[in-house]
Amino acid sequence: MELQALPSRIGQVRRIISAQLRYWHLDPLIDQAALGVTELLTNVHRHAQPDKSCTVDIELLLDRLTVSVHDHDPRLPTVNEADSFATSGRGLALIAAVSESWGVRPIGSAGKAVWFTLPAVTGASTLPPLAVYGSTTDGPFGAVTITPDDIAALPARSAVVG
């Protein structure tokens, strides 16, 4: 779906993604997917230049759900060292914490796509997860990727609710 990353639209996107995941019988993934897409759209709203237009894609491929947000800003996001009292700056760390893998795919001067994957094993599946294209920390696009080792090398952080 194409949209302007405005606060009023972020809730609509969460509801659309939630409805699609219910349709696919992936209800256990709704909270993680909604959190992840909220963080990615918030990053577009706060940081993307020259405009706030973006595209949100969700793809279910075998046992992996991939959520990606493409914007027109070619600058790549970074994981920031947020001050313990900061009220923002932890979005990518949250995505890393709740997702199986995530990364960034530059699209030249046309912008970038930031994505994350979630394991999409339904309750009916009794087989172990299969290794499929896009299910490794190399990500589904094979470009710039942040691996769990990269995240592990960062200092520990915590988020305070309230």
> What is the DSSP code (8-state) at residue 84?
T
Closest-CA residue to 52 (of 103, 104, 102, 7): 7
**The predicted structure's pLDDT at residue 151:** 53
The model's pLDDT over 16-37, given as tens digits with 9 standing for 90+, comes to 999 999 999 999 999 999 999 9
The model's pLDDT over 118-135, given as tens digits with 9 standing for 90+, comes to 998 755 444 444 444 444
**The predicted structure's pLDDT at residue 109:** 82
**4-38: b (≥16 Cβ within 10 Å) or e:** ebeeebbeebbeebbeebeeeebeebbebbbbbbb
Of 154 and 102, more confident: 102
Mean pLDDT score, 5-13: 89
pTM flag (> 0.85): no
Tokens representing residue 47 in the block:
């940081």
Averaged pLDDT of the chain: 78
Composition of the chain by helix, strand, coil, percent to 5: 35, 20, 45
The model's pLDDT over 44-57, given as tens digits with 9 standing for 90+, comes to 988 888 888 899 99
Cα separation, 132 vs 145, in Å, equals 17
Q: How many CB atoms lie within 10 A of CB 82?
A: 16
